[in-house]
Chains A and B, each alone.
Chain A
Amino acid sequence: DIQMTQSPSSVPASVGDRVTITCRASQGISSWLAWYQQKPGKAPKLLIYAASTLQSGVPSRFSGSGSGTDFTLTISSLQPEDFATYYCQQASSFPLTFGGGTKVEIK
């Protein structure tokens, strides 16, 4: 199975900050990676797929990059509604696997 390791596990940030979250795959997954945002009590929301393609309706302050084993999710200017937990997910091979999550919290 492909292991997905996210870092950091939490990041304290302020509105307006640039936030970067990393995700590392235990083996190469090309660009088969997605990022999700989840708020408490809600289902996850797809932000980015194929490593860098923005899902329709997602604000352009979110961006994704990387290929192979190393990926990043960047929020260019953090907004109040962005405080949430973020997960990466590999779609290269079954079983699909998720990272452990990164909580973006108020500094």
Chain B
Amino acid sequence: EVQLVESGGGLIKPGGSLRLSCVASGFTFSNAWLTWVRQAPGKGLEWVGRIKSKTDGETTDYAEPVKGRFTISRDDSKNTLYLQMNSLKAEDTAVYYCLSSGWYFDSWGQGTLVTVSS
């Protein structure tokens, strides 16, 4: 069974930085393309970005609103996905989910809430 456990969320001031982690199990992590999706309170779902597997070049793609501020990385030895978030804005306030695919998302964790507020 796929399990995804996100952590690292919290309250942060505008302009601050935060790193989210996602520990995964139940699938071959090193072969997977991995994705971050977020959901602002009371709003819809928004794709944040994804990272390919090492064999596919470990390249990343990002949504326009976070490009240049967010960085996705992975540590296959720890089955862990990261989201480094810099220069945070109020509009980044959301629950952040990590996902074990690049296209369709059949396994979701509980998410971690990031609140950007002064």
Give chain A's interface residues, CB within 8 Å of chain B.
1, 32, 34, 36, 43-46, 49-50, 55, 87, 89, 91, 94-101
A59: min CB distance to chain B, Å: 16
Beta-carbon contact of B50 and A94 below 8 Å: yes
CA gap between A15 and B85 in the complex, in Å: 44
Beta-carbon contact of A44 and B108 below 8 Å: yes
**What chain A residues lie within 8 Å of B50 (beta carbons)?**
94, 96
A31: min CB distance to chain B, Å: 12
User: Which of the 9-residue segments B12-20, B22-30, B74-82, B99-107 touches chain A?
Assistant: B99-107
**What chain B residues lie within 8 Å of A36 (beta carbons)?**
45, 105
CB-defined interface of B85-109 with A at 8 Å, one 1/0 digit per residue? 0000000000001000001111011
B31 within 8 A of A: no
Beta-carbon contact of B44 and A99 below 8 Å: yes
Beta-carbon contact of A44 and B105 below 8 Å: yes
**SS class of chain A's interface: helix, strand, loop or mixed?**
loop
> A95-B61, A95-B64 given as contacts; is B45 within 8 A of A44 (CB)?
yes
CB-defined interface of B46-82 with A at 8 Å, one 1/0 digit per residue? 1100100000000001111000000000000000000
Query: 15 A-B residue contacts at CB 8 Å?
Result: A34-B104, A36-B45, A43-B97, A43-B108, A43-B109, A46-B104, A46-B105, A46-B106, A87-B44, A95-B47, A96-B35, A98-B44, A98-B46, A100-B44, A101-B44
- Give the contacting residue for B103; candidates A44, A96, A100; CB below 8 A: A96
> A95-B61, A95-B63 given as contacts; is B104 within 8 A of A49 (CB)?
yes
B39: min CB distance to chain A, Å: 8
Beta-carbon contact of A96 and B44 below 8 Å: no
A49: min CB distance to chain B, Å: 4
